[in-house]
Structure 1
Amino acid sequence: MAFNFPPFVDGSAVTVAKRVLESARPVDVVAADLSRVRTRDRSLAELVAPYVRQHHSLTVPIKFAAQASVAPFVTAGIRALAHRQTRPYRSVYSRSMWPHSHFLAARVKIDHLAARWTAEFSDPMLWHVDGGRRPSPSIAGYIDEARVLASVGARAQRFLLERRTVLEWAQFVPFLLADELVFTNEQQRAVMLEDAPTWLQEAVLPRSVIAPHPTLPPQYYGDDAGPSAARASDEFRIGYFGTFYPNRGGGELLEAVSLLPTPARDRLRLDVYASDTRTLMASAGKLGLSGVVRHRSPLPFRRFLAASGSYDALLVNDIATSPFGVPSPFLPSKYSDYAGSSAPTMAITIPGSPLDLMPARWKAHVGDVDGISRMLRSAIEEDR
């Protein structure tokens, strides 16, 4: 159960596709038609196609946590799987971050259409990256509440009736019913368990596993980097793939670049592959870095993997968060793609965060502009 699945591309769709490749087992897929909100990537779909037996693409309203979207997805999904009444699946897998996936998987489990349920959480369901609580409407009318409540004990029923919002149920129903709960890092699990009472925490822990986003083996990266491989011989090229937020760590990177000695700055090129870099380019221009920072159009997934190897460094960064009681519950999924590339990783991290605990050739810390500048200078000089 994956609300977002190839050919539509976003971080969750890529991770689910890589989970399928990692398992190397045939699957049936129930997903949404995301034509209105996501771009298509044929290369990503072709990557996972050998393992997809049936792909039920459901046409439903696309809204993050709205009754008009979740309920139709569950209803249409159960209808698509009606043929499994006589021969249930051995297992069902679902992944957020869209709550729809877990609601459909819960119904599959309750209706005995699958013997085992694995539920994966990409990020904390209830919290934004800045520590603010995600808004969520009442659960009323979203799914068959009575059917869910009848599948749990009296104490769990009381708890669910006290926590009756969509995102709370998208977290706590899997906590109660899934056979396995997958978190991408220890700090994410800790933050999410804090939202639950002690008795539920104790029930979740034995069924939980930590599984960072999968990294594909080298053969998926290929050896053709395409036009992005063209470079001047003295350039030190850093690739950044994904949205670049000047106000979420990108600004201090640009400031760090501006502090470099002129010879090092003149050699540096930062290629940002993103749909919209207008704010970034304006910020770079104000710092006199228009010749250093370059906009590149986003690449299809397989071309991105191939192009990554042409760079001297691949940049990934934490977004500063402090209100969770841990360094950060977020592990950037892009790290897993970089980890399989022949190019080394350059990371700007929060001390002690999941990203900080991962290997990288060069590291500096969020908020330390001088340290980031020193890291950049060291990398450029090492390349001589």
Structure 2
Amino acid sequence: MSNMENNDVDYLVISYYFPPRLETSGLVVARKIMEKNLNVDVIQSAYDESSDFNEIINKHINNRFPIDIKTKPDYIPFIFKYIDLGLKAIKKNYKKVYSRSYIYSNHFLALEYKFKNPNAEWTAEFSDPLLLNLYTGAIKNYPRAILDNSDYINKLNEKIEKFNEVSDTDFKALDNPNNTFFMAEYLTFIFADKIIFTNENQREVMLSVYDNELREFVMNKSKLEAHPTIDKKFYNFKDCEIRLDNNNINIAYFGTYYYIRHFESLFYAFEALNHKYKDKIKLYFFTSRAELLKVATGSLKISNNIIIEKPLKYFEFLNATTKFDILLINDTITKGHFKVNPYLPSKYSDYIGSGSDIWGICEEDSILSKKELMYKSSMTDYQSSCDVLIDILNDYGYEDQDYYFEDNIYEKRINELNWRFGFEFDERKKYLSRYNNLKEKNMTLNGELQTLMNKNKKLKAENDVLRKKNKNLKKENETLESKYNEIVNSNSWKITEPLRKLKNSK
């Protein structure tokens, strides 16, 4: 509990990931609390580690209700455990409740709280589409997300039916079994009092899979709210010890590197550039996918201009953004999967508070492409990255009238990537062959082991028979010994002893 004089808090925040855990969704929630200067109670995961951010947000927190669940978040057992423990932890009726996905189990808990406290104003926020797959745009249909629970579904359908009666709506009942990704969106759209989306494209994409009645219903109670930018003072809260050469143009990227969020157009352009000041440009990548990035860039001539680092802690990251000349940000590739790009990189809200210039590598008509950025190029237009590189060099006073770009760099890069793919494939094939050989040997050894186990089982059975015979003989011997002792100690035996002696003397 924080040291606040006002203990009468009427705002409950449901955010399983929350500081001290430094996960993006929880950090966004914490920054919203700080931005709006709220005093709240928080339901969150039980997390023992400390963080600087936790100390800062703590003055806004009256009570924390830590929930300890070992099951993987958003799996069906987790959802029901979270609801059960969460409702038990809540000790009062709140006027307002807020939940945010990720994780979407936050919405399930908030939904149940709303059922128990219908007068509470529930605000639900979606960080990204839940139902639609990021990589394909198709509806997620994972087996782990299919809920087969007629009692729970029937209870929810009763709530939907009553809501329809009161609200003069005609929202459809849920089928059983059902998809929990769908349920998290659908039920929240119906029962939450307010809905928050991070941008217009996200709202359009998420609502596109629902009928007109629900779309209009959600539009009327939803608003767009971008990720908040933390106060400027926190960019100097903790110094990042990175040392940069100020004679260079230092460009940095902070975040994940993967195949739908890459920098190939930049690499093509930089590799192709022939410019006497080319080496003034240094590209820094702070990413958890360092090995993948090293493989992707290791054979390039510009590899010496690329510095790959581990991710920084949050406040060190904020401070680092103030030290670089230009910050790189790129869209997620969605063309062919979504009508419009529903994603805005979360780092954008951190970048704009740094004071550094931003270079956005954008997908056409994305939210990022519509932002005011110092430099902007297309993810699919190699020439636009060439133009930006020259603009940057010129802006920093490094002009070369004789610069040019190699014409065949694209073909070279494709050939290099194909070669690398072939090499990786051959390496995997070699290891697969070794694996199969070892697997075959293992099967042979398992067969031999089974034979020995069968022999052992047979010998054990024979041993059991002999042990049983021995046991029976032992019992028979004990019986005979008992009879012998009985005869020897009997009166008749004692009386006839003289006769036995007489007989023996003859």
Same fold (TM over 0.5): yes
Is the contact between residue 365 and residue 372 of structure 1 (CA under 8 Å) also seen in structure 2?
yes
Q: 1:247 to 1:291 in 2, by over 3 A?
A: farther
**1:44 counterpart residue number:** 53
Matched with 2:203 is 189
Aligned to 1:290: 303
Check if 1:220 corresponds to 2:215: no
Please list every run of at least 4 consecutive aligned residues from structure 1 whose deviation after the TM superposition is greater than 4 angstroms.
154-157
| Per-residue deviation, residues 167-199 of structure 1 (Å, max 9, x unmatched) | 001001110000100001111101111121111
Between 319-328 and 99-108, report the one with greater CA deviation.
Answer: 319-328
The residue aligned with 1:133 is: 139
CA contact (8 A) 2:285 2:309 kept: yes
Residue 218 of structure 1 deviates from its aligned partner by 1.3
User: Offset at 1:272?
Assistant: 1.1
Percent identity over the alignment is 27
1:141 & 1:160 partners in 2: Cα distance?
Answer: 11
User: How many positions carry a matched residue from both structures?
Assistant: 375
Give the Cα–Cα distance (whole angstroms) in 1 for the partners of residues 97 and 126 of structure 2. Answer: 15
Residue aligning to 2:156: 148
Deviation per residue, 1:187-219 (Å, 9 max, x gap): 110111112111111111110000111112212
Q: Measure, in 1, the Cα distance between the counterparts of 2:47 and 2:125.
A: 21
Comparing 137-146 and 44-53, the one that deviates more: 137-146
CA gap 1:209/1:348 in 2 versus in 1, 3 angstroms: same
Contact 1:265-1:292 at 8 Å conserved across structures: no
Q: Which residue of 1 aligns with 2:467?
A: none
Task: Look up the equivalent residue of 1:116 and give its one-letter code.
Answer: E
**1:207: which partner in 2?**
221
What amino acid does structure 2 have at the position aligned with 1:326? Answer: K
1:62 touches 1:69 (CA, 8 Å); kept in 2? yes
| Residue matched to 1:322 | 335
Kept in 2: contact 1:5–1:16 (CA 8 A)? yes
Q: What is the 5 A alignment of 1:15-34?
A: 15-33=28-46
Residue correspondence of structure 1 range 318-357 to structure 2 within 5 A: 318-357=331-370
Question: Residues 169 and 300 of structure 1: is their aligned pair in 2 closer, same or farther, counting only changes over 3 Å?
Answer: same
1 CA distance for matches of 2:237 and 2:290?
28
Give the alignment partner of residue 185 of structure 2, picking from 155, 168, 171.
Answer: 171
Structure 2 distance, partners of 1:123, 1:235, is 37
Secondary structure at the counterpart of residue 3 of structure 1? coil
User: Offset of 1:94 from its aligned partner?
Assistant: 0.5
Alpha-carbon separation, structure 2, partners of 1:212 and 1:113? 28
Query: What does residue 256 of structure 2 align with?
Result: 243
User: What SS does the corresponding residue of 1:327 show, helix, strand or coil?
Assistant: coil
Partners of 1:142 and 1:104 in 2: how far apart? 19
Contact kept? 1:225, 1:310, Cα under 8 Å: no
Q: Would the alpha carbon gap of residues 263 and 6 (structure 1) be closer, same or farther in structure 2, given more than 3 Å must change?
A: farther
Aligned match for 2:122, one of 105, 111, 117: 117
1:30 shift after superposition = 0.7
1:353-372, aligned counterparts within 5 Å?
A: 353-372=366-385
The answer to whether 1:69 aligns with 2:105 is no
| Residue 33 of structure 1, CA deviation | 3.4
Q: Structure 1, unaligned stretches of length 5 or more?
A: none
Map of 1:14 onto structure 2: 27
Farther off after superposition, 318-327 or 16-25: 318-327
Paired residue secondary structure (2:29) = helix
Amino acid of the residue matched to residue 222 of structure 1? Answer: N
- Supply the AA of the counterpart residue of 1:198: N
CA contact (8 A) 2:327 2:357 kept: yes
Question: Which residue, out of 110, 116, 120, partners 1:105?
Answer: 110
CA RMSD of aligned residues (A): 2.2
TM-superposition CA deviations, 1:260-306 (whole Å, max 9, x none): 22434311111111223111112221112221111222222111111
Alignment of 1:301-320 (within 5 A): 301-320=314-333
Could you tell me how far 1:249 is from its partner in structure 2? Answer: 2.4
Structure 2: distance between partners of 1:329 and 1:214: 18
SS of 2:206's partner is helix
Structure with higher helix content: 2
Q: TM-score when scaled to structure 1?
A: 0.91
Structure 1 residue 46: Cα displacement? 2.1
Q: Is the 8 A contact 2:240 2:317 kept in 1?
A: no
3-state SS of 1:57 partner = strand
TM superposition shift of 1:235: 0.7
Q: Name which of 64, 83, 91 aligns with 1:55.
A: 64
- Counterpart amino acid of 1:139? L
Report which stretch shifted further, 138-147 or 163-172.
Answer: 138-147
CA distance, structure 1, for counterparts of residue 373 and residue 31 of structure 2: 22
Maintained 8 Å contact 2:150/2:177: no
Aligned-residue offset at 1:227: 1.7
Report the 3-state secondary structure (helix = DSSP H, G, I; strand = E; otherwise coil) of the residue aligned with 1:56: strand
Higher mean alpha-carbon deviation, 172-181 vs 20-29, is at 20-29
Once residues 101 and 362 of structure 2 are traced to their aligned partners in structure 1, the CA distance between those partners, rounded to angstroms, is 24
Q: 1:174 and 1:258 mapped to 2: Cα distance?
A: 48
Q: Which has the greater radius of gyration?
A: 2
| TM-score after normalising by structure 2 | 0.70
After TM superposition, the structure 1 stretch with the greater mean CA deviation from structure 2, 290-299 or 180-189, is: 290-299
SS at match of 2:95: strand
Could you tell me which runs of 5 or more consecutive residues in structure 2 were left unpaired when the two chains were aligned: 1-13, 398-506
Deviations 1:134-187 (A, max 9, x none): 234323349943443332235766342378210001001110000100001111
Over 3 Å counting, the alpha-carbon distance change for 1:69 and 1:156 in structure 2 is: farther
Contact 2:44 2:65 in 1 (8 A): yes
- Which of structures 1 and 2 has the larger relative contact order (alpha carbons within 8 angstroms, sep 6+)? 1
Structure 1 pair 162–175 and aligned structure 2 pair: CA distance change class (3 A): farther
